[in-house]
Amino acid sequence: MAKKQAVDTKRPIESYEHKDKLRVNNPPVGLVTPQTDPDAGAKKSYAYDPHLDPQLQWAGKADHTSFEIPTVSLHVHERIDPRSIIEAVRKIREDDAQLSFFGQLDENPPLREAIKFYQHAHGWSNRLVAGDSLLVMNSLLEKEGMAGKVQMVFFDPPYGIKYGSNFQPFVNKRDVKDGKDDDLTSEPEQILAFRDTWELGIHSYLTYLRDRLLLARELLTESGSIFVQISDENVHHVRELMDEVFGVGNFVCLIPFRKKAMPLGAKNLENMYDYLT
């Protein structure tokens, strides 16, 4: 009886690559020192044009004509590549040896080159950057030369509403109460990222938004777009800020999207939409 031919059941491993695009390399954690990154700690100053029209006014805006941002390095904590992960798992099964799940060999230069991280380019890859958006955008502008190269920005700021949370910190606890500190996560990054709250007053909220919109404008290419997600409580303020920063003629449209079904027995008219402007 003829033997059955072995069939290779391994599926090809593919990942998105942008071989025609380059970006400045980021330093791995631990390599940044005053010697390897002499620009660390420098500050970049941004200023507003006081003659823009129209303008929304609020307390303190006239005093906030410029601001400085520290220029920091964006560190690489880990590179996660699908091909590396799957090949490593296959290797473990075959050789019973533990290998690295992260990174690609061609993106890990020798140490003598790695410490010159902002002096040589790598292939462009997707990145998730954890940090304050103002610091991150400034670093993209100053350290990585991304000014005028970004095609799209999606900005989901705090809605500026009540002391409440739409973030569930524990998977085994579904009863999360607004305004109850016991239900807060202890991770400050998660509080900053997930809580739709702003308690310092509308003036500080508008300053927060305008500073970030200004840096987003610096990043966008001429044909780029920015989308800001917001609720009906502050959509009018956001629209006025965007008219001021980007110009009235660059507005395209306001996009409402439904966030919940029609409630039964609502006392007043129920808000069922959030907006992209």
What is the 8-class DSSP label of residue 94? H
Q: Has residue 169 been placed in a domain?
A: no
Q: Would 155 be classed as within a structural domain?
A: yes
Among 107-111, 177-181, 271-275, the minimum mean pLDDT is found in 177-181
**Domain carrying residue 236:** 18-161+198-276
Domain membership of residue 222 (yes or no) is yes
The amino acid occupying position 229 is Q
Q: Please state the domain count of the chain.
A: 1
Which amino acid, residue 139? S
Rounded Cα–Cα distance for residues 158 and 194 (Å): 8
SS3 state of residue 83: helix
Tokens of 124: 């462009």
Each residue of 11-44: pLDDT tens digit? Answer: 666 666 777 877 787 777 777 777 777 777 789 9
pLDDT digits (tens, 9 = 90+) for 61-111: 999 999 999 988 887 777 666 666 676 666 655 555 554 544 554 555 666
Q: pTM of the full predicted structure?
A: 0.74
- Confirm whether 178 is domain-assigned: no
Q: Could you give phi then psi for residue 219, rounded to 5 degrees? A: -80, -30
